[in-house]
Structure formats: structure tokens, C-alpha cells
Amino acid sequence: MKRYISGAILGMVMAVGVQGAANAEDLKPLTVGFSLDTKESSLETAWVDFLKSEGESQGKTAGFKIEWVINVANADPARQAANIDDLITRGVDIIMARAFDSGAIGTSIKAAQNAGIPFVTFDRGSTSGKPTAHVGGDSYDQAKQTAEAFAAILKKAGIQGKCIELQGMLTDINAVNRSKAWNEVAKETGQYTTIVQVPTNWNPELFLSGLTNALNAHPEANCVFAASDFAFPSIQAALEKAGRWAPTGQPKHMWLATCDLLTAAVKPMEEGYIDVSTTWDAYLQAKEAVRVLIAVAKHEDPGCGPDGCLAKGRVVTPATVKTIPNLWSRDYSK
Amino acid sequence: MSGLRLRAIAEFLMRRGFLVVFIIVFLFFSVVTRHFFELDNLLNILSAMAPLAIAAAGLALVVMSGRLDISIGSIAFLSCAIGALLMRANGLSPVLAALIVVGCGALLGAINAFIVVVLRVNSLIATLSTMIAYRGIALQLTDALLVQLPPDVRFIGNARIGPIPVDILLMFLVVILVHLLQSRTVFGRRIMAMGNDISVARRLGLPVDLTGFNTFVLSGVLASLGGILTTIQNGAVSPFLGSGWEFTALAAIVVGGISLLGGRGTIFFSVLPGVFIFEMIRNGLTNLSANPYSYRLVSGVVIFAAMYADALKSGQGLRSRILRSRT
């Protein structure tokens, strides 16, 4: 009897093994050429890692074995065009590119499409040609999530916010979207008002002088919204100068909401100086990119909106910043 | 009588056009906002303008000599990036790092000087190319990321002596020294002679090349000093450090009264008011809670008003010519 049972178990194990091997062999190869404009920071490293890991997991589920062919243009649009030509010559199945020059990438898009290769722009869109699809971050939703979470935090603390808004560059659509979302939520919730808008041109020196001026002009301000926290040391310097650099829970605390949660903001959030942020999410962008690539490979509609397939950010607070998974600004910081 | 008085007023306005614009803008913000005319706010303006004023003083020397240096922002960025990276990687002391930064500024200025003086390349073209190259090197070195200063250095940014922030005192010290160098030394007089007519200065036997070389080196040194100040204020070297300084500084010194053609102006009374008015506009508009899109417009209008007044003063404006034809 034991012999029969052992035989049956052995048979089942072998059957599963053979089935598994057959599945691995059944995976259809999908070669994706990825043209990066630069590879100068930890962000690009994180992207590549996330793309590979997501490619493996999502690809397996969809029946693909994704192979990545990656080249880097070293911030040279001519080099990027040549790199993409190389990918076309090599005969990759799909090309994805983060354009160095949105105005110049159109030529490469056309060349790829003439060769019958779908072209997906990543993070930075094209202004000179229509790609098969575009994948990027959703800057409007990012600020909306931050603002809604911030309003909830203020409500819980019983605070009526009088906020200084540190805007980005006014010709940058991301900055415009973030300002729009922030002020729309202000109207919807009534939990805070923007008492002054300070343009920074994404320049840390203007973050410092602008916030210093605003704090001086509006001593009643009790909160700050920064359209990006990449220049957080300048925000910190301005708050220190004004005697308002204190973590949450202390009387001098300035309620702080930001977008992006970049490297410079991770530690201040861990220490309770930043109350809420929404990630500029390298992981979710990579995940969305792989989903779109698979849909394109299957000749399916990836279901993008008018601005492309935009990955949303994740809301992070001091309570979650240490534990939220795949946070590139924390895990890949130098 | 009244005609004579009007003409006297018109002549005064023409001679002191920038001053008039300056006073009008200052009074306007003082009257219509609550906190503009307060000591703390005025100190904020001076503190914010300190890095640019120091760099602009160096640029002013080059402009007075009849040349241009539009690489000052990139020199500030590259030299400070090197200093900050050395501090981070090797635990270099802040004082030693600052000396290295200033040394880098001098070296980068000397490269500019070599291209202009020895290779005889037009200063605008030469410093345009080094502006791009220096920034490129700095971006490569920093990976285009923020290089934060160690926490124990950050406090210097908000240090004060009495009620006055140290950066303001440093600004006054440096600008006064450069002013004295320009107005009270042989070197300064040679700069002005070059600016008036370089060929005449050369024929007179003045060491034009050496003087020109040194102005670029000084410009590099002062740019790096300005860079140190903004780095300490911000607590980090950012990829934007010094970005746009060249044009703001140029606009400020011209608005302040230094001729782009060289040979005219003074450091203290041109650089400080010129830089102050730009920072004052930014500060005043924030005090007014003005629409963010209005900042550039207002700055542009004020620059135009001051420049037009300067043109009138120089006898190049239409009104000046009309008035002269009537007399």
C-alpha cells in the first residue's frame, strides 16, 4: 500500500515538474529595447531594477519572457537617436524611451514605426511625434492625494490651515497641475486656504528666499505646501531662520505637505517635520510601463487617458515612511 | 521760472533716474504692505541678495574692463560642488573645503582668462562655452543630485552677530574691499582705462593683458565666494546653484549704473542698489501676495524704467536728444 502511495506522490511531483518546465518553455520571448537619456542618478538605477522585476512577474503571468536591451545616451539627443537606430536594427519587439529632448524624439518614433516597431515614451513625453503609448507620472493626482490627506490631518488636529504655497516653474505642466489640484482641494474641503503663492522656478535659492519672505509677510501662516520637496534643505533653512523648524506635536511646528518625497525629504519625514507627501513613484511607473508594454505586445489597447497611462503616487506619512515597500528615494539613496 | 524749475526737475530725474525708480518702488511697497518696511524684512532682503551681490561685484570688474564673464553661476556651482563632495567623501573640515572652493574659483577664472587674454577669444563666446562646460562637469560630479552639507555646518547659514546675519556683514565686507580695489588702486584705474579704450591703454604701455587676466581670476574667486554663501544658506549644493546668476547679476549692475561698454560706474553704489532692487521686487510682491505670474512682468518693467532712465542720463534717449535740441 505504502509503495502505491509513494508511487502516486512521485508521479504527481514529476507531473507538476514537467508541467512547470513546459510552462517555462511556453513563455513567448519579448525583447524590449529601452533607451535611457541618462543614467546619472539612483532614479534610473531604480527604474531599471523595478522594470526587470515587474517584467519578470507580470511577463510570466501574461505568457512572456521579457528580455531587456538597455542603452544610455549620456544626455545627448544625437546619441539617443543613434541608440534607437541600433535597437531598430537589432529587431527588438518594442522600443521604450525616456527622451532627453521631447522635441527631437519624434524622428526616432517615426523611424521605429516605419520599421513596424511600437514605440512607448516613458516619463518624458514627445512633443514632436505620436508614440504608440506614453507612460508617466500623474502630477495632478499626486498633489490631489497630498492635499486630501493633508486636509484630513489638519481636521484631525483641529487646525484651520493658512498655507504658503511654494509653486514650481510656472511653465512646467507638472507645477501647474500640482498648484491646481492643491487649490481645488482647498475649496472642496475648506480645511485650509492658500494665503500666498510663491513662485520658485524649481530653484532652491528661490525656495529659501521666497519662503523666508512669505513667512515674514504672513506671520499668521501655519502650513506650507511645497510642489516638490527636492529642495527640502532650503525649506528647512527658511523655517530654521523663522524659528518654525519643529517636528509635529511641538507648538512651533509648521504643518508641511509636499509632493514627490525625494531623497532630501525622507529623513525629515521620518523625524516628523513633514506631515504628508505623495511619492513620485518610480516603482508604480515601472509597473505601469510593463503593463502597457505587455498590452502593446498583445496588440491590445492599453487603455491610456488623453495624457497617456499615468501612474499615481502613494500617500506617505511619518507613520508609513519606513515601511512602505519599493520606495526608491529611501532604498536607493546614496 | 516755472519752465526753468521743470527743466531742473527733468534734468535731476535724468541724472538720477535709477535712484528715483528705486525710491518709488521702495516707498510703494512700504506703504501698501504691512511687513515690508520692518527691520527683519529688510535684513531678509539683504541676506537673500548677499551671494549674488558678491558674485556681481566680480562680474562688475570684468564689465568695467570692457569684457563679459557669463560663467559666474557655473563657476559658483562647480567650485562648491567640488568642496561639498570632498566634505562628504573625505570629511574635510569646512574651512579647508572653503579654501579649496575659492582655489577652484580662481582656477576656473584663470581658464577663462587664458581663453580670452592668451587665445584672444571674445569674452562673451569664451565664457559662454565655459559656462556650459563648467555646469556640465558639476552635474556629472554631483549626478545632478543635491549634495547636502553635514548637519554641523548647517548652523552657519543662520549665524548672526548681534541682530545682523553674518552673510550680510560678509557681503558688505567683500563689496567694500572690491570697491576700494577698483576706486583706490592702480589696478582699478587700469581696469577703467581698459574699459574706456583698450587700444589706447595698450599704447600707453599699461599691462592690459595682465590686468585683464587678473579681473577674470578675481571674478572666479568672487563667484565661488558667492557660491559658498548660497550653499551655507541653503544647506546644500543643488544642481541649480548659480543658475541664471550671470544674467541677473549683469542686469543688476547695469541697472545700478555700470556701463556695459566698460569704463564707467562704481562697485559699491552700483552693485548693491542694483542687486537690492531685484530682491526688493521679489520680496515686495510676496508681501503683496501678488499673482506669481506678475513677478517677471514687474521685474521687466522696473528694469526697463531704470534702463530708460540710464539711457536718458547717457544722452542716448529720445527725450534727452529732444531736450538738448531745445537748449
Measured distance CA(B5)–CA(B125) in Å, rounded: 48
Find the closest chain A residue to B38 by CA distance: A216
B213 has which bridge partners? none
- The pLDDT tens digits for B277-307 are 999 999 999 999 998 888 888 888 877 876 7
Q: Which residues numbered 73-92 in B keep a CB inside 8 Å of some CB on A? A: none
- State the pLDDT at residue B304: 81
Q: Contacts of residue A240 in chain B, CB cutoff 8 Å?
A: 154, 157-158
A311 has which bridge partners? A137
Q: Would the CB atoms of B234 and A217 count as touching at under 8 Å?
A: no
Give yes or no for a contact between A75 and A37, defined as CB atoms under 8 angstroms apart.
yes
Read off the amino acid at residue B99. Answer: L
Q: What homologous superfamily does CATH list for A27-131?
A: Response regulator (3.40.50.2300)
pLDDT of A248 > 70? The answer is: yes
Q: Would the CB atoms of B289 and A219 count as touching at under 8 Å?
A: no
Measured distance CA(A32)–CA(A97) in Å, rounded: 10
pLDDT of A209 > 90? The answer is: yes
DSSP category for residue B57? H
Q: Would the CB atoms of A205 and B293 count as touching at under 8 Å?
A: no
Measured distance CA(A292)–CA(A304) in Å, rounded: 9
- State the pLDDT at residue A17: 47
A164 has which bridge partners? A196, A224
Query: A139-280+315-331 is classed in which CATH architecture?
Result: 3-Layer(aba) Sandwich (3.40)
Q: Which domains does chain B have, with CATH numbers?
A: 17-326 (1.10.3470)
- The pLDDT tens digits for B142-167 are 877 788 888 888 778 888 999 999 99
- The pLDDT tens digits for A124-159 are 888 888 999 999 999 999 999 999 999 999 999 999
Measured distance CA(B227)–CA(B229) in Å, rounded: 5
Radius of gyration of chain B (CA): 21
pLDDT of B321 > 70? The answer is: no
Q: Would the CB atoms of A240 and B236 count as touching at under 8 Å?
A: no
Chain A interface includes B156 (CB < 8 A): no
Find the helix or strand (DSSP H, E) in which B170 lies.
Answer: helix B166-184
Q: Which of A187-191, A330-334, B234-238, B268-272 has the lowest mean pLDDT?
A: A330-334
Q: Would the CB atoms of B240 and A205 count as touching at under 8 Å?
A: yes
Q: Contacts of residue A217 in chain B, CB cutoff 8 Å?
A: 33-36, 41, 286-287, 289
pLDDT band at B2 (very low <50, low <70, confident <90, very high): low
Chain B interface includes A271 (CB < 8 A): no
Instruction: Match 541697472 to its residue by C-alpha cell.
Output: B255
- The pLDDT tens digits for A19-46 are 444 455 688 999 999 999 877 667 788 8
Q: Could you give the 3-state DSSP secondary structure of residue A258?
A: strand
Chain B interface includes A210 (CB < 8 A): yes
Measured distance CA(B116)–CA(B216) in Å, rounded: 9
- State the pLDDT at residue B287: 92
Chain B interface includes A219 (CB < 8 A): yes
B7 CA to centre of own chain: 34
Helix axes B208-234, B72-90, angle to 10 degrees: 50
Burial class (CB in 10 A: 0-12, 13-18, 19+), B34: exposed
Instruction: Match 552700483 to its residue by C-alpha cell.
Output: B270
Measured distance CA(A30)–CA(A91) in Å, rounded: 11
Picking from B85, B96, B80, the residue whose alpha carbon sits closest to that of residue B223 is B80
Chain A interface includes B159 (CB < 8 A): no
Domain edges within chain A? 27-131, 139-280+315-331
A192 has which bridge partners? A161
Q: Contacts of residue B85 in chain A, CB cutoff 8 Å?
A: none
Q: Contacts of residue B286 in chain A, CB cutoff 8 Å?
A: 196, 198, 210, 213-214, 217
Which bin fits A157, alpha (ψ -120 to 50), beta or left (φ > 0)?
alpha
Q: Would the CB atoms of B282 and A213 count as touching at under 8 Å?
A: yes
Measured distance CA(A189)–CA(B234) in Å, rounded: 34
Q: Which of A43, A205, A263 to substitute to test the interface with B, most B CBs within 10 Å?
A: A205
Q: Would the CB atoms of B41 and A230 count as touching at under 8 Å?
A: no
Q: Contacts of residue B230 in chain A, CB cutoff 8 Å?
A: 205
Find the closest chain A residue to B291 by CA distance: A197
DSSP category for residue A130? -
Chain A interface includes B286 (CB < 8 A): yes
Give yes or no for a contact between B69 and B265, defined as CB atoms under 8 angstroms apart.
no
Q: Which of A212, A271, A328 to substitute to test the interface with B, most B CBs within 10 Å?
A: A212
Picking from A260, A164, A250, the residue whose alpha carbon sits closest to that of residue A212 is A164
- State the pLDDT at residue A40: 60
Chain A interface includes B234 (CB < 8 A): yes
Q: Could you give the 3-state DSSP secondary structure of residue B254?
A: helix
Burial class (CB in 10 A: 0-12, 13-18, 19+), A13: exposed
Chain A interface includes B140 (CB < 8 A): yes
Picking from A51, A109, A113, A35, the residue whose alpha carbon sits closest to that of residue A291 is A51
Measured distance CA(A69)–CA(B196) in Å, rounded: 61
Q: Contacts of residue A178 in chain B, CB cutoff 8 Å?
A: none
Give yes or no for a contact between B141 and B104, defined as CB atoms under 8 angstroms apart.
no
Q: Which of A131-135, A146-150, A326-330, B175-179 has the lowest mean pLDDT?
A: A326-330
pTM (global) more than 0.90: no
Interface contacts (A, B; CB < 8 Å): 112
Chain A interface includes B48 (CB < 8 A): yes
Q: Would the CB atoms of B41 and A199 count as touching at under 8 Å?
A: no
- State the pLDDT at residue B145: 78
Q: Would the CB atoms of B35 and A219 count as touching at under 8 Å?
A: yes
Give the distance from residue A217's alpha carbon to the nearest chain B alpha carbon, in angstroms.
5
Find the closest chain A residue to B242 by CA distance: A205
